[in-house]
Structure 1
Amino acid sequence: MGTLSYPPKARPGDRVAVVSPSAGLPALFPHVYELGLRRLREEFGLEPVEYPTTRATGANPRERARDLTAAFADPGITAVLATVGGDDLITVTPHLDDEVLRANPKPYFGYSDNTNMLNHLYRLGLVAYHGGSVLVHLGRPGSPHPLTFASLRAALFTSDWYELTPARQWGDRPNPWTEPDTLADEPEMLPGEGWRWQGPQRVVQGPTWGGCLEILHWLMATDRVPTVAELAGSVLIVETSNELPGAKEVFRIVRNMGERGLLAAFGAIVVGRPKAWDFDKPLSVPERRAWGEAQRDAILRAVTAYHPDAVVVFDVDFGHTDPQLIIPYGGEMRVDAVGRRIAVRY
């Protein structure tokens, strides 16, 4: 693939696009959304600009693609932030005007279903950013999480190397958006236990690729992933969603990546802390710990079969848990298994 291009950075005072390419949840949860917008203004000094589908439910893929393209085309917009994830952005990316995106590179922030957009920009040669959700993270109940906001601030405004930090406390049980009063309450947090390292003691540095594991399976099914040659020397970043895929499904997806030859392309594999609680699956804390162990074992079993020499790091705080560290997508990551440190270049 070669070296991808980092888009120019935003500065405090700039106008930034706020879009809903996956799901128009701001229409359903305006109290959460407005909190996210307020923090975008007050904490980051940025002025959000909305589009016709930002607060619309049921917008079709062409309409959402139109808004995404317009956000990149506008010379007064310096970054693009997704409000939340969803489940059908894979139907939106074919309608984007790629010439406009290439000619007007801008930092794009999103995760979960936004893996579709991150991968699309990657294939256009542009670095994007895995993480950042106006509803989930900017609209976090109680107070902003300092690790999330420090990482997002660095990713938005700086271009330097940034050391990632293991969270001392983490959570995967959000407050219900259907109850506005809970916005004042801090979410449940659990003690952090640091990152878990497997594999050889060496330093791996390279561009990242990956995202939400279930979305990567969709992208493989539609043949929209880079080739093994294009990914050679990269760092794989993967995390699982709030749909809580079981260990068997996780194993099969990673195994299928191995069968495709993708796993062998990566010198290191960085795995996000698995989310193990959802409203329709309210697991106890011991059950959540067991869920995480089963998922780690499943990934390690597949990696051992297809790429036993890879450096593997588990429980890094990015993806669907709280806090959420921002990871450059297609940008540089350094995974130091000797010093047990991870740094990214924003």
Structure 2
Amino acid sequence: MLPYTEEYFKNYFEDSEPFESIRPSKVWYEERKDFSAKSIGENRVSHADNKGYELLQGKPIFEGELLGGCIDSIYDMLTPYTHKDEPNIIKEYNIFPSLEDWTGKIMFLETSEVKENPETLRKMLLKLREMGLFEVINGIIFGKPQDEVFYEEYKQILTEVVGNNDLPIVYNVNFGHATPRCILPIGVKARVDAINQEITFLENPFMT
């Protein structure tokens, strides 16, 4: 386990000292190209130029309960993009959160190891916009793309598609498929502070 990930992972155990906030990693890592046994013991390639949390628009400080996930999987839940029957199952069993459920939340999104091209990300975000989600949430935190692929392109598309200039968007947060990563607990109220470069939990993750 990478040191940054281990640091935050250990803090979710009940007998650990609670940490005050999640801060950006100083480094980022290229993902492995080979996952076979011959790669055991080989270190990932690290880069000491992680940019920290980038505020793309809106107020630099905002609060809300955390809700979100991998945008590829979210899009699969809403469209027959990968599995034709998935949207019907999601709808039948009310699996996807309603507009009311999203109200006042901080939406966290990240892209997968597929590294979808920018136009596919645009399509995925447009689907969320059509559902009215960007009008009811308190802000967006977006994870670092794996290997920083399409890093600048994703930033541009986010601000273009959201369509709500007042909605805060903080980019390059260390969670999701890119390494290193922390854990964001769904349902916990948090404060995002792009000025001080921290995400602070406003309640105990074990009490929700």
TM-score class, shorter-chain normalisation, is: 0.7 to 0.9
Q: CA deviation at 1:333?
A: 1.8
Q: Is contact 2:24–2:174 with CA below 8 Å preserved after alignment?
A: yes
Change (3 A) 1:208 1:183: same
Give the equivalent residue in structure 1 for 2:155: 296
Are residue 146 (structure 1) and residue 3 (structure 2) matched? yes
- For each residue in 1:186-227, what CA deviation from the matched residue of structure 2 results, as whole angstroms up to 9, or x when unmatched? 101122121211223353211111100011112223233211
The answer as to 2:130 corresponding to 1:249 is no
Q: Is the 8 A contact 2:56 2:155 kept in 1?
A: no
1:260 to 131, 140, 144: 131
Q: Which amino acid aligns with 1:211?
A: G
| Residue equivalent to 2:40 | 183
Of 200, 208, 213, the residue aligned with 2:58 is: 200
Give the SS at the match of 1:300: helix
Q: Which has the larger radius of gyration?
A: 1
Query: Does structure 2 conserve the Cα–Cα contact (< 8 Å) formed by 1:175 and 1:182?
Result: no
- 1:206-225 alignment runs, 5 A limit: 206-221=64-79, 222=87, 223=91, 224-225=95-96
Compared with structure 1, are the counterparts of its residues 234 and 160 closer, same or farther at alpha carbon in structure 2 (3 Å cutoff)? Answer: farther
CA contact (8 A) 1:247 1:298 kept: yes
Residues 294, 332 of structure 1: alpha-carbon distance in 2 compared, 3 angstrom cutoff: same
Distance 1:241 1:202, change over 3 A: closer
1:312 aligns with 2:183: no
Instruction: Give the gaps of 5 or more residues in structure 1.
Output: 1-143, 277-287
Deviation digits for residues 230-262 of structure 1 (CA, Å, limit 9, x no counterpart): 211100000000111111010111111011111
Once residues 255 and 159 of structure 1 are traced to their aligned partners in structure 2, the CA distance between those partners, rounded to angstroms, is: 41
For normalisation by structure 2, the TM-score amounts to: 0.82
Distance change (3 Å), C-alpha of 1:188 and 1:269: same
Q: Does 1:171 align with 2:37?
A: no
User: CA–CA distance in 2 between the matches of 1:251 and 1:262?
Assistant: 15
Of all paired residues, the percent bearing the same amino acid is: 20
Q: How many pairs does the alignment contain?
A: 188
**1:270 and 2:141 correspond:** yes
Q: Which amino acid aligns with 1:294?
A: E
Q: Which position in structure 1 is the counterpart of 2:82?
A: none
- Two-structure CA RMSD over aligned residues (Å): 1.9
In structure 2, list runs of 5 or more residues that go unmatched.
80-86
Equivalent in the alignment of 1:79: none
Moved more, 239-248 or 153-162: 153-162
Distance (whole Å) between structure 2 residues aligned to residue 235 and residue 161 of structure 1: 20
The residue number in structure 2 matching 1:330 is 187
Q: Write out aligned runs for 1:6-25 (5 A).
A: none
Contact 1:175–1:187 (Cα < 8 Å) also in 2 = no
CA distance in 2, matches of 1:159, 1:226: 32
Instruction: Specify which structure has the bigger relative contact order, considering alpha-carbon pairs within 8 angstroms and separated by 6 or more residues.
Output: 2
Bigger helix fraction: 1
Q: Could you say which residue in structure 2 is the equivalent of 1:33? A: none
Go from structure 1 to structure 2 and tell me whether the alpha carbon gap of 1:314 and 1:202 turns closer, same or farther (over 3 Å shift).
closer
User: How far apart in 2 are the matches of 1:323 and 1:252?
Assistant: 27
1:218 counterpart SS class: helix
Which residue identity is paired with 1:331?
A: V
Matched residues in 2 for 1:189 and 1:316: separation? 17
Contact 2:107 2:139 in 1 (8 A): yes
